[in-house]
Amino acid sequence: MSGAASVRPRGEGATPEAIGTVFSPHVLVFQLKARQGPFRHLDLLATLTLTNRWREAILSHTNDLPEPVRRMLSGHGADGGPAEEPHLAFLPLAFVGNEQADGHLLGMGLALPVHLSRDERCEALRAIAAVRDLKMGPLGVWQVDPVTAEQLPQALRPETWTIHPKGATHWCTVTPIALDRHPKASDKARYQTDIAASITDACSRVGLRRPQEVIVTPFSAHLGVPPSFAFPRLQRKDGSERRHTHAILVFDEPACGPMLIGAGRFRGYGVCRPVRGEMELDPLFRSLGSTETTAPTEKTR
């Protein structure tokens, strides 16, 4: 199911709206504040722990909600199986992208599916708003407050992550993309190409056009982001671990976020943020060397 739309005018003389994803660009933003425990901040490496606990807390307030809304918030149907349609996703909003950036979390964005009706969205917001504290064991107790201030740090502004409505062509991961399938090629070049192809398919699953280029790299283009190998891996139901990687995505037309890609997209992995233009990527292309991989698209085949 795709709730994304093609580039379209919003009215005479208006700036065209770039293609989006199955997630609404109207991201709900919450600030994290330490209440109790040894840490002043959490960092990006705590993303999975934080999103798992946050979803559990939200679900504890859903018993009286309609089944479609409960399924959307949990990501599972009444039978316990995974929901087929898009559902609630989390975006770790970290201090990244400049020389002082250290990757600590300023807050969390919650992205709802774009197809929700007004009534479903209101019911979901009621459960989300009921969560005010997160008890996270050794990581402490954290207060979550909806952001209302007008003067916000850049990382807490939804448009930093969505570039809605004009979009951007160059995006890079802030958390690694968990691969939907495990590459089996033994040759390194082929292995990298398989990863790029998997990421290309993952873009299509969330309503995006296939990227013109995918550059697979262990390092993010955003300063302050840890390398992909430092992040905990997602586990499958059988206990095995999913491979993951950072990546740079280049589209031939602007795309809007929130851009959440891969098998961990509902849990805070595969979160992308725009990179400011082609010129900024030029030295990065050169420095990546053998990690540069171009995924074939309809235009390049």
Residues 137 and 188 in one domain: no
Last-in-domain residue among 152, 176, 201? 152
Q: Is residue 145 located within the same domain as residue 55?
A: yes
Strand-pairing partners, residue 23, are 113
CB 230 within 8 A of CB 44: no
Q: Is 16 domain-assigned?
A: no
- Looking at the 3D structure of the chain, how many domains does it have? 2
CATH of the domain at 50: 3.30.70
Residues 120 and 193 in one domain: no
- Cα–Cα distance measured from residue 156 to residue 177, given in angstroms and rounded to the nearest whole number: 22
pLDDT for residue 183: 86
- 19 within a domain of the structure (yes/no): no
Domain that holds residue 111: 28-152
Task: For residue 11, tell me if it sits in a domain.
Answer: no
Rounded Cα distance between 111 and 87, Å, is 8
Give yes or no for residue 148 having a pLDDT over 90: no
Q: For 97, list phi and psi in degrees, rounded to 5.
A: 100, 5
Q: What is the pLDDT of residue 277?
A: 55
Domain contains 282: yes
* Measured distance CA(68)–CA(205) in Å, rounded: 21
132 and 173 fall within a common domain: no
| pLDDT band (50, 70, 90) for residue 95 | very high
* 3 state DSSP class of 48: helix
Say what the pTM is: 0.88
| 149 burial level (CB within 10 Å; 0-12, 13-18, 19+) | exposed
- Rounded to whole angstroms, the Cα distance separating 13 from 60 reads 46
- Residue 17 forms part of a structural domain: no
Interval 194-219 mean pLDDT = 96
Helices (H), 142-256: 158-162, 188-205
- Indicate the residue among 125, 152, 179 that finishes a domain: 152
Give pLDDT, residue 80. 76
Last residue of a domain, one of 129, 152, 175: 152
Lowest average pLDDT, out of 85-89, 181-185, 246-250, 290-294, goes to 290-294
Q: How far apart are CA 58 and CA 124, in angstroms?
A: 9
Task: Evaluate whether residue 23 is within a structural domain.
Answer: no
Whole-number Å distance between alpha carbons of 112 and 109: 10
The answer to whether residues 166 and 89 belong to one domain is no
Judgement on whether residues 250 and 141 belong to the same structural domain of the protein = no
Report the C-alpha gap between 218 and 233 in whole angstroms: 14
Please give the Cα distance from 158 to 196 (Å, whole number).
Answer: 28
pLDDT tens profile 20-79: 999 999 999 999 999 999 999 999 999 999 999 999 999 999 999 999 999 999 998 777
185 and 264 share a domain?
A: yes
Q: How confident is the model at residue 298 (pLDDT cuts 50, 70, 90)?
A: very low
Clarify whether residues 180 and 126 are in a common domain.
no
Amino acid 182: pLDDT: 85
Same domain, 229 and 133: no
Per-residue model confidence (pLDDT) at position 289:
36
Question: In this structure, are 196 and 226 located in the same domain?
Answer: yes
Verify that 240 and 276 share a domain, yes or no: yes
| Same domain (yes/no): 46, 69 | yes
179 is a domain residue:
yes
